[in-house]
Amino acid sequence: MTDTTTATTTTTIELSDVGRTYTRGKKEVRALTGVDLTIKQGEFITLFGPSGCGKSTLLRLIAGLDTQTTGEISVFGSTPKEASARKDIAWIPQSSALLPWLDITANASLSNVINTKADRSGATTRRPEDAGDLLGEIGLADFRESRPDQLSGGMRQRASIARGFAQGAPLMLMDEPFSALDELTRDTLRIRLLELWDRHKKTIVFVTHSAQEAVLLSDRVVVMSPRPGRIREVVDIDFPRPRTWELAETTEFVAKVAEVKQILWSAWEGDE
Amino acid sequence: MISVDALAPVRRRRRRIFPRTGNAALTVGAPIVLFLLLALVWQWAASTFKSVLPPIQNIVTDIVGRPDFYLSNLGVTVGSAMAGFAIGISVALVLGAAVVHFRFLRAAIMPLALLLNVTPIVAISPALVVAFGFNDIPHILVAALTAFFPMLINSITGLRAVDPQALEVFDAMAASRWEIFSRLRVPSSLPYLFAGARLSVAAAMIGAIVSEFTGSSKGIGAVIVTATTYLNLSQMWGAIFFSAITSLILLGLVGLAERLTVRW
């Protein structure tokens, strides 16, 4: 292996001057501009901001689902599309997006039947995990043979997260996976996610529009603002782990959430 | 820790043609009462306008008196309809898959398919008899043509009706075109394909019968034409009765196949 691979053992993702401009007819819309960011291996990082700030666009660029119009993105030392072709990226969408004709176990092990070329060629660094075990870990042990339409929204979301972890990819990208759930379910799943992240040692990039969720989950919060979408500030979150619900009740936590929100408010005042 | 979301599993409700009232007497009784009322109106009309409708007992006597006559002709029609149905939906499925994947094929095929759909099959049928002669081929082809269009439209709609977020999951793993087609598009489209098959099977029966109006001495269509010639009202309505019942059974069979395949 070359020097580049040694250099990327601690750096998972590097973005330099990344921008994405959409052309609608004659109008150009800058969805994202001037993004510089380095994400370390094993880090839990959230992209936080209001709608239109480009956080989902940024996540799609890292996933290789979209291509930037300016700048460079490196994922494990290669382009996002190459990393995706190696199956080194797991994507967890906003809705559970389970396949209704497969049972929960088959859904959770989807990565084993897709892009099998990457597995056969040995290009991938993923270490697939047993879907049944993961479903047990996330509290769906009794529902392994159920079909998605037999589960509640929160249970489907768990199955979707289990599918992401079962892929065994070192990098996981989550696009507001809890935004459609009720508050109590959301609280439970946030803690479950932290447990899984801690146990399975993943790098997670998580998109959210909830400051509370961002502060509770992450090592660093990337605060973004719209028109054009860009990074305002990157805030370190130093609360000890493992984190639980109790943390969210402390004054330090509430202060941190306020601090993160304040960055956005001051950004808006500056705009006007 | 209580897991709030793990309470009652939810079950999606199937769409039903026959409503469930929760009351067996109502579900079975109501249609029977209506049916008997209509039968009374029929009998009254048959005794008043003798050249319009035959009395029900005459139709029953005719059917019971020569079941072989009806069933053998019905067999011919169902044979043409099913062969046409098989050909029509096969071509529609192949073209549907092609149209979804290649934009130029969509541009080329869709106007022709629409033109075919608005062309009256009664007009095509005699032309096919002239071309292929007095055998089953023209009837099979007409049935195929009528079965083709509903299946084409439904297969295109179905193959495109993919959950965009599921597609993202596939794309993020760099799924191949074939994997997306076989593991996502085809299963997603199954409810649409069965809806298309239901329309197509009924259309194939109509196509086969109508095409038998010309250039055929066998089949339900030919039986109706003969009955018209001799003003044999009982035979005419006997034939109509058999074709309606058969279409109903065929619809039921497609529904059964759907229940066995689409379990979500």
CATH superfamily, with its number, for domain B66-261: MetI-like (1.10.3720.10)
Helix (H) or strand (E) holding A11: strand A11-24
CB atoms within 10 A of CB B211: 32
Q: In this predicted model, what pLDDT tens digit does every residue of B34-65 receive, in sequence order?
A: 999 999 999 999 999 888 899 999 999 999 99
> Where are chain A's structural domains?
3-88+170-271, 96-169
DSSP state at residue B5? G
Is A205 strand, coil or helix? strand
Which CATH number applies to A3-88+170-271: 2.60.40.10, 3.40.50.300, 3.30.1330.60, 2.20.25.10?
3.40.50.300
Name the residue in chain B with its Cα closest to that of A163.
B169
Residues B92-118 have a mean pLDDT of 89
Cross-chain residue pair B172–A63, CB shorter than 8 Å: yes
Residues B187-197 have a mean pLDDT of 94
Would you state the pLDDT for residue A5? 46
CB atoms within 10 A of CB B72: 12
Cross-chain residue pair B173–A188, CB shorter than 8 Å: no
Would you state the pLDDT for residue A1? 41
Q: Which amino acid is at B48?
A: T
The distance of A98 to chain B (nearest Cα, Å) reads 7
Beta bridge partners of A171: A89, A203
Q: In this predicted model, what pLDDT tens digit does every residue of A224-243 receive, in sequence order?
A: 998 889 999 999 999 998 99
- The answer on pLDDT for A6 being more than 70 is no
Q: In this predicted model, what pLDDT tens digit does every residue of A56-113 receive, in sequence order?
A: 999 999 999 999 999 999 999 999 999 999 999 999 999 999 999 999 999 999 999 9
| CB-CB neighbors (< 8 A) of A163 in chain B | 169
Give residue B150's pLDDT band: very low, low, confident or very high (50, 70, 90).
Answer: very high
Which parts of chain B are beta strand (E)? none
Q: What share of chain A is helix, strand, coil (3-state, %, to 5)?
A: 40, 25, 35
Cα B62 from Cα B75, distance rounded (Å): 18
pTM: 0.84
Between positions 177 and 236 of B, the ones with CB within 8 A of A are 179, 183-184, 187, 190
The C-alpha angle with vertex A229 and arms to A227 and A232, in degrees rounded to 5, equals: 105
Would you state the pLDDT for residue B21? 66
Cross-chain residue pair A97–B163, CB shorter than 8 Å: yes
Copy the structure tokens of residue B149: 């269009």
Residues B234-251 have a mean pLDDT of 93
Q: In this predicted model, what pLDDT tens digit does every residue of B120-130 receive, in sequence order?
A: 877 888 888 88
In sign, the C-alpha dihedral spanning B24, B26, B32, B35 is negative
| CB-CB neighbors (< 8 A) of A150 in chain B | 9-11
Q: Single out the residue of A223, A200, A218, A226 nearest to residue A134, CA to CA.
A: A200
- Tell me whether B9 touches chain A (CB under 8 Å): yes
List all residues 6 or more positions away from A153 whose beta carbon is below 8 Å from its beta carbon: A96, A180, A181, A185, B5
The C-alpha angle with vertex A60 and arms to A179 and A156, in degrees rounded to 5, equals: 35
Would you state the pLDDT for residue B106? 86
Please answer whether residues B117 and B54 qualify as being in contact, where contact means their C-beta atoms are separated by less than 8 angstroms.
no
